[in-house]
Amino acid sequence: MTVASELSCFASDDGDLAYRDTGTGNPLVLLHSGWADHRVFDDQLPALASRYRVIAPDVRGHGWSANASKPFRWSDDLAALLRHLGVGPVVLVGVCMGAAVATDTALEHPELVRALVVSGAGTSEFEFTDPWTLNRAAEGARLLGAGDVDGWLDAFAQNLAGPHRTVDEVDPDLVRRVREMCAHTLSKHTPDERDWLVPVTDTWARLPKIDVPVLAVHGALDASDSVGMAERVVQSAPNGRSVTIEGVGHYPNLEKPEAFNRILEDFLRTL
């Protein structure tokens, strides 16, 4: 597998898992959204690496990491990588799917987690009730089933905008970046391949077991489901807080990176 020059690889028991590892200091792990890769955090890596050791993996089946060929769990992959690197406990920062990976890891491997930052989701047991979110998911599945990759990428870009804006109201360079990442991951898969992901169960009921500090960063223009799931993690934590960034949707770290970085570093200084 060809890997981007700035990436390292961890030889897991089911293929190589790619990751960025840069900077020095207390370890901070950045976990990307679904269909994307570590480049979601291109605006965070240089800002944070001067003060922290920043690790940004590509989740299995995404970016430059291997696809699964047997059952796996996101949290176990991350735990194996952290143990391989000899780091922990760490601060986990996740956007959308990455938030689910982070929260699952705090539940399944609590000894590895020092604090959580979630944005756009909660656990891997995603709960969607908002009609906008349900319609987006159905439309995405229809387009993939029809083999309409360009249509699917257009539909996915709407997630960046959220339910209150059109894609045309989002910086076109951000739309291009998200499309590029998703197209790369999508190219690794076929419509008929087996899904080897093993669910982590009973996650919402177990949230009170998370006893580390939790921060949720909400995009004010994000879908209500996304905000609600992240907020549930905060409300269940003994030391939880929320911050909302105005004028952004599902990817506050992309749309307003300076604000996101400032909020994140303010939280890190309290640990």
Q: What is the CATH number of the domain that holds 103?
A: 3.40.50.1820
Instruction: Say yes or no: 111 and 245 in one domain.
Output: yes
Instruction: Say yes or no: 14 and 35 in one domain.
Output: yes
**Which pTM was predicted?**
0.97
Does residue 2 lie in a domain region? no
Instruction: Say yes or no: 13 and 42 in one domain.
Output: yes
Residue 191's pLDDT is: 84
Cis peptide before 89 (omega within 30 of 0): yes
Q: Using an 8 Å Cβ cutoff, are 250 and 173 in contact?
A: no
Instruction: Say yes or no: 114 and 139 in one domain.
Output: no
Instruction: Say yes or no: 32 and 113 in one domain.
Output: yes
Contacting residues for 130 by C-beta, under 8 A, at least 6 apart = 163, 223, 224, 225
Residue 124's pLDDT is: 98
Instruction: Say yes or no: 18 and 83 in one domain.
Output: yes
Residue 3's pLDDT is: 61
Does residue 1 lie in a domain region? no
Does residue 49 lie in a domain region? yes
Determine the structural domain holding residue 49 and report its residue range: 8-127+194-268
Instruction: Say yes or no: 82 and 143 in one domain.
Output: no
Neighbours of 224 (CB within 10 A): 14
- Sign of the CA dihedral 162, 218, 89, 200? negative
Instruction: Say yes or no: 103 and 220 in one domain.
Output: yes
Residue 2's pLDDT is: 52
From 186, 211, 227, give the residue that closes a domain. 186
The token pair that represents 253 in the structure block: 């770290």
Residue 86's pLDDT is: 97
Extract the residue ranges of the chain whose pLDDT is less than 70: 1-5
Question: Coil, strand or helix: which one is 237?
Answer: coil
Residue 216's pLDDT is: 98
Instruction: Say yes or no: 73 and 180 in one domain.
Output: no
Instruction: Say yes or no: 139 and 163 in one domain.
Output: yes
CA 37, 74, 108: angle at the middle one, nearest 5?
A: 140
Q: Using an 8 Å Cβ cutoff, are 65 and 16 in contact?
A: yes
Share of the chain above pLDDT 90, in %: 92
Instruction: Say yes or no: 215 and 244 in one domain.
Output: yes
From 167, 186, 205, give the residue that closes a domain. 186
Residue 192's pLDDT is: 87
**Structural domain count of the chain:** 2
Question: Which element (helix H / strand E) includes 20?
Answer: strand 15-22
From 186, 208, 231, give the residue that closes a domain. 186
Does residue 3 lie in a domain region? no
Neighbours of 227 (CB within 10 A): 23
Residue 249's pLDDT is: 97
Instruction: Say yes or no: 12 and 121 in one domain.
Output: yes
Neighbours of 244 (CB within 10 A): 14
Residue 121's pLDDT is: 98
Question: What CA–CA distance (Å, rounded) separates 93 from 223?
Answer: 20
